[in-house]
Chain A
Amino acid sequence: MSKQRITVALSGLNNIDSPGPGIPVIRGIKESELFEPRIVGLAYENLEPGAYMHNLVDKTYKVPYPSDGVDSLMNRIRYINTIEKIDVLIPNFDAELYAFMRSADLLKSMGINTFLPTLKQFEERHKANLPEFGEKYDVKVPFSKPIASAAEINNLNDELEFPYVVKGKFYDAYIANDKDQAKMYFHKIAAKWGLPIIIQEFVKGTEVNVVAIGDGKGNTIGAVPMRKQYITDKGKAWGGITLDDRSMLDLTHKIIGETHWRGGMELELIRTSKNELYLIEINPRLPAWVYLAVGAGQNLPEALVQLALGQEVKPYTKYDIGTMFIRYSYDMICGIKEFEKLSTLGEL
């Protein structure tokens, strides 16, 4: 069977110590039996490693941050599309999803397909809305409260005991053992990711995760549970292993079934000593460890491309248990000319 030639544009090329999902998503798509992809990287920074990984990324374009405005981002995409004729666009950062979800129709009019959560799905799973999400869908969640000022930490005594978790709206989480620590983390995260900051009950247990895709009609196209075996000081997995855990899969099917989740997702869960599963976060995109799912037999990036193209996708029903990933760092050597080209022309 001949493979379908497509052009896929992706962001998240920051394959650094706290990696974006771009490169693992690209690896999945490039290993597809169905597609022969041309990969167009969308980079926000000149030093995103993916831009220089020419074996994986055919061409990279700098794009403006979504905080510069949706219009300037879309104008840039429009320009890139005139050259590349993009078939599918996969945004891989939480912080840019809103801009791309809002612009899904505009992208479609340019001939660019996406497969993203709806704005409602995106909003209701937000960390700040987790208690309501838990109540609505009958899922165990820790108590969470969004706050907009460090002074509010003084008034949390009645609602929360230490330790608790101080979280950014998109990224970062720290465990605070007292008010001073909580305030320090509040300012640290707010300076980076803005407000609100979410204060969340600390649930003691083992962190486990699921990567999954929903078809937007309530069906789970694929799901692979994993436990991090080695966690970096930034809380990122450096090694992980697929698990045989029916309860995690049941929870994933329930959430996707009831929310009619559309697109990739990562469930962050805590399994307590009483064997209860608490949902602590839903990330509305494929995670950086998604290549583990590919290695375990579920090519979820490929499935995401198929869904974006409106193709019928047969749900995955199995994966290899005990498949591991071990992340590593690798120094690429690049000429200054390449860096110069991306820095000055915005293309490489």
Chain B
Amino acid sequence: MKFKKNVAISETGFIFDPSTGDSYTLNPIGMELLNMIKQGIPFADINSAFTTKYDVDASSFERYYYDFVATLKQIQLVEDYE
């Protein structure tokens, strides 16, 4: 997944898309997930990390994960996504 060029993501969880002027905020867990996706970590490893660290089962996390990724696509923060 490739993030759109120029999108600014701050450590505080504030995301700014300068081409549309839209901005978003993420909570710390959302930021953690976003950073792992940005680093290109495979889904299986992210799933494993989250289910180990947080009180969430693998199937629920998978649902949340794809929901999150679909939202990134919908608000056009990512340029390609399979």
| Chain A contacts to B: CB under 8 angstroms | 206, 226-227, 229, 240-245, 321-322
Q: CA–CA, A229 to B22, complex, Å? A: 8
Please name all residues of chain A whose beta carbon is closer than 8 Å to the beta carbon of B20 when the two chains form the complex.
Answer: 206, 227, 243
A243 to chain B, nearest CB (A): 5
Q: How far is the CB of A277 from chain B (nearest CB, A)?
A: 13
Most buried by A among B16, B18, B21: B21
Interface check B6, CB cutoff 8 A: yes
Interchain CB contact under 8 A, A245 and B16: no
Q: Dominant SS at the A interface?
A: strand
Nearest CB of chain B from residue A147's CB, rounded to whole Å = 35
Q: How far is the CA of A334 from the CA of B61 in the complex (A)?
A: 62
Does B59 have its Cβ within 8 Å of any Cβ on chain A?
A: no
Which residues of chain B come closer than 8 Å to A226, judged between CB atoms?
21
| A227 to B6 CA separation, bound complex (whole angstroms) | 17
By a CB distance below 8 angstroms, the chain B residues around A242 are 21
Q: How far is the CA of A276 from the CA of B21 in the complex (A)?
A: 17
Q: Using a CB-CB cutoff of 8 Å, which residues 1-46 of chain B contact chain A?
A: 6, 8, 16, 18-21
- Tell me the complex Cα distance, A229–B20, Å: 10
Residues of A within 8 A of B21 (CB): 226-227, 229, 240-243, 322
Q: How far is the CA of A226 from the CA of B18 in the complex (A)?
A: 10
Q: Which residues in B have their C-beta under 8 angstroms from that of A322?
A: 8, 16, 18, 21
The CA of A225 and the CA of B75, in the complex, are separated in Å by 20
A269 → B minimal CB distance (Å): 13
Give the residue of A229, A240, A321 whose beta carbon is less than 8 angstroms from that of B18: A321
Pairs A–B under 8 Å by Cβ, sample size 16: A206-B20, A226-B21, A227-B21, A229-B21, A240-B21, A242-B21, A243-B18, A243-B20, A244-B6, A244-B18, A245-B19, A321-B18, A322-B8, A322-B16, A322-B18, A322-B21
